[in-house]
Structure 1
Amino acid sequence: MRGALFTVSRSVFDISRQKEVAATPEEEVRQQVVSWLIKEKKVPVHLIETEFALKALDPKNADRLDILVHHFRAGNPLNRPWLLVECKRPGVESPQALQAQVNKYLRILTPQFIMLALGNRAVFFSLSDDKKSFAPVSDIPEYPAPARPLSRGN
């Protein structure tokens, strides 16, 4: 065919959304982080949400954040997740823009940890004891295992 244009679209499977999504550079970073969270940090898949819509917490907010990891414990409020992750494709690192974006999320959410996945590197923060600020940390811990009930013999 003369003059025809062909588009080859690549996709990746998003395990948290259970569907194929376009394999954009940012989506590839997002899926690498999800895989790392599951394999290295032992986060249960069912607690990971990608493209989390903030309107679930604030109906007036149309923003979506890249990855949210919920707490395992029942009764833990939705606005207090274990981890908030913001992903950027390689080469896109505007600290001011990224900080403004994360600060918008922090008006609604109080995560225990924050991860900024910047291409092939990551920066981590932990919520301070007074729950008013975040401090840089070298890594995040493995996801906490659920409390196991004591057996009757104990």
Structure 2
Amino acid sequence: MESLNLPVFAYNTKQIDGKPYIFDVLRKKYVLITPEEWVRQHVVHLLLNQYGYPKALIRTEGGLTLNQLRKRTDILVYDRAGKPFLLVECKAPHVAVTQSVFDQIARYNHVHQAPYLVITNGLTHFCCCVDHQLQTVDFLDDLPKFQ
């Protein structure tokens, strides 16, 4: 897989029917390695290993309903009270991080109301803090650590 602008981590892979799979420590199963999944797995391990987020508070590939359509969030992290805290949108490395990606995560966050948003394609990353009451967005230099 492609080298990313994210820390490397120890991972397990195997072939199933001639296709590469990676072990997902959150879902506790092997999942097909697509370019987007490769980025998602890097972000999950970054959250766990560098920012101290507990596994139990991270959900990947979670469903949501938006305008009567079923959508999936890549990564949603909850705080200790069970409220959405950090929403992550992962793209494949060849997908540019454009305004449409920001619009997508903003639509998803209209449902979740998480105070932190992260967008990454594994090479370029953005993190911002959203104040829902003031309707402001501030870009941050780093992701928030778990408290």
TM-score, normalising length from structure 2? 0.80
Unaligned runs of 5+ in 2: 1-16
Q: Which stretches of structure 1, 4 residues or longer, exceed 4 Å deviation after superposition?
A: none
SS at match of 2:43: helix
Larger radius of gyration: 1
Matches within 5 A, 1:8-19: 8-19=18-29
Indicate the residue corresponding to 2:139 in structure 1.
Answer: 136
Deviation at 1:131, TM superposition (A): 4.7
- C-alpha contact 1:91 1:119 (8 A) present in aligned 2: no
Structure whose residues are more often strand by fraction: 2
Match of 1:31 in 2: 41
Count of residue pairs the alignment pairs up: 131
Give 2:99's aligned residue.
Answer: 96
TM-score by length of structure 1 reads 0.77
Offset from partner CA, 1:51-106 (integer Å, 9 cap, x none): 01014xx6934000100001112xx44xxx11000001112015132022112202
Distance 2:110 2:144 in 1: 24
Mark the runs of 5 or more structure 1 residues left unpaired by the alignment. 1-6, 145-154
Find the partner of 1:64 among 64, 72, 77: 72
Q: CA RMSD in A?
A: 2.0
Q: Secondary structure at the match of 2:68?
A: coil
